Amino acid sequence: MSNEVRNQIIMELQTEFTADQLKIIDLAVAKAMRGYRIEKEETLPAPTVYELPYDIREFIARKKLKGCSDGTIEQYGNLLKDFVLWLKKDLRSVQDIDILAYLDWRAKLGAGKRTLDGKRLILSSFYTYMHDTGKMAYNPCKAVDPVKYKAKVRQPLTDMELEQVRSACQTLREKALFETLYATGCRVSEIVGIDYAEIDKKSRCVVITGKGDQERPVFLNAKAMFAIEKYLESRNDDNPALFVSSRAPYGRLGKEAIEREIKAIGKRSGIGRPVFPHLMRHTFATDMLEHGASLNEVSDLLGHKKLDTTKIYAKTSVRSLEIAYKRHHAA
């Protein structure tokens, strides 16, 4: 084997060196290899990729058909995989005590009450499907009570905080991104998918694709439209995306990149608390309610399927209750 290796080395170098130089190299390699045994490396088969049980794969496929977002599908898959690996027995033999034991195990590993209840809800969704499709005679999650936790009410940005964050924007992209998030109330994933050609400049409207592939119109105010136009004028790329990276090859700006940028702007603003895209969405919704928009109108603009989701924002808007009182209560 050593001779084969030496011959291969010489063959690789024969176009680069003279015959005399190759002899010197051959002697040097032979000397260096003395005392060593060389064996040919065998190519090992690729490690087996873990495959989720069929019941889970079928459940996730049905969720996809229902239009669940990629993020939701990933969350379901990760939780159910974690549960299966912990369980070490057939999914169809699970009882309520198994669900409780799993949640207790996760709690001991540091999961908070809200996180635990989220895991319970996913397991409940899966076992409801198993029962409804006749794969199991009972739903083990029915006997598992919700995990009680105190929901934190996220406070929107105040008018002063909003202006501080706006003033902290430095680049044209930062200004356009900030104004677009605040003007539309869009989710980050929705902002990522916008192409600038989709914006109707006359109506300042763009139809976006939200959760569950549901389309809805969102609107840009004058500040957002002005910031976007200035940003687009500064670009030299041919990417159709509304927001792109600042360096070649100027790819579409992703979810994580947008979150990092907004976080950096917030830190720079000095308002003393974290700023993130969903806080901009929360602020948008609260401001709409405080200026007289109905829950149904705000729900449509946010792309909520259930009005109860929009009511979360109403809880933080005392001003909206004051407006409703003055508008509808007899003097």
**Cα 183 to Cα 228: distance, rounded to the nearest angstrom:** 12
Specify the amino acid at residue 324: A
**Residue tagged active-site, from 120, 173, 281, 282:** 281
Residue type, 70: D
Let me know if 166 is a catalytic residue.
Answer: no
Clarify whether 282 is annotated catalytic: no
Asked if residue 231 lies in contact with residue 175, where contact means CB atoms within 8 angstroms, the answer is: yes
- The identity of residue 144, as a single letter, is V
Active site (annotated) includes residue 211: yes
Is 62 a catalytic site residue?
no
Q: Choosing from 62, 113, 230, 278, which is the catalytic residue?
A: 278
Candidate list 6, 211, 223, 255, residue with the active-site label: 211
What 3 state SS string does the chain have? CHHHHHHHHHHHHCCCCCHHHHHHHHHHHHHHHCCCCCCCCCCCCCCCCCCCCHHHHHHHHHHHHCCCCHHHHHHHHHHHHHHHHHHCCCHHHCCHHHHHHHHHHHHHCCCCHHHHHHHHHHHHHHHHHHHHCCCCCCCHHHHCCCCCCCCCCCCCCCHHHHHHHHHHCCCHHHHHHHHHHHHHCCCHHHHHCCEHHHCECCCCEEEEECHHHCEEEEECCHHHHHHHHHHHHHCCCCCCECCECCCCCCCECCHHHHHHHHHHHHHHHCCCCCCCHHHHHHHHHHHHHHCCCCHHHHHHHHCCCCHHHHHHHHCCCHHHHHHHHHHHCCC
Q: Is 313 a catalytic residue?
A: yes
Given the residues 106, 120, 175, 304, the one annotated as active site? 304
- Residue among 102, 129, 196, 313 flagged as catalytic: 313
Sign of the alpha-carbon dihedral angle for 205, 211, 212, 213: positive
187 is catalytic: yes
**Sign for the pseudo-dihedral over CA of 251, 256, 262, 264:** negative
Which residue of the set 102, 187, 231, 282 is catalytic?
187
Catalytic residues: 187, 211, 278, 281, 304, 313
